[in-house]
Amino acid sequence: MTKYLVLEQMPMKEAAEIARSVWGECAEVEATSARAAIRSYLGDDGKKGEFVAVPSRSFKPVTVKVETQTKLTFS
């Protein structure tokens, strides 16, 4: 069994100001496949939408930092 992070796509109306699509974290479940993880999360809820399941070990958010450097060049 593998731990999966299940994400749901937010409606475009809510996401339009941020980006074309935004994914919200729903749950972390143990399953044998991505589809099984989504099935496990949804259960018998009958909920519709766009979902994705990513192995938790592969979900590694990265912090990006911008640094500006002043450089003098003499000719």
Give 31's contacts (C-beta < 8 A, 6+ positions apart). Answer: 1, 2, 4, 37, 39, 40, 53
Chain centroid to Cα 56, Å, comes to 10
Give the C-alpha distances (Å, rounded to integers) separating 64 from 24, 61, 67.
20, 10, 10
Spatial distance between the Cα atoms of 70 and 48, rounded to a whole number of angstroms: 52
Spatial distance between the Cα atoms of 31 and 39, rounded to a whole number of angstroms: 9
* pTM score, whole prediction: 0.72
Q: What is the pLDDT along the chain (75 residues), one digit of tens a residue?
A: 999 999 998 876 655 565 667 889 999 999 999 999 999 999 887 788 899 999 999 989 899 999 999 999 998
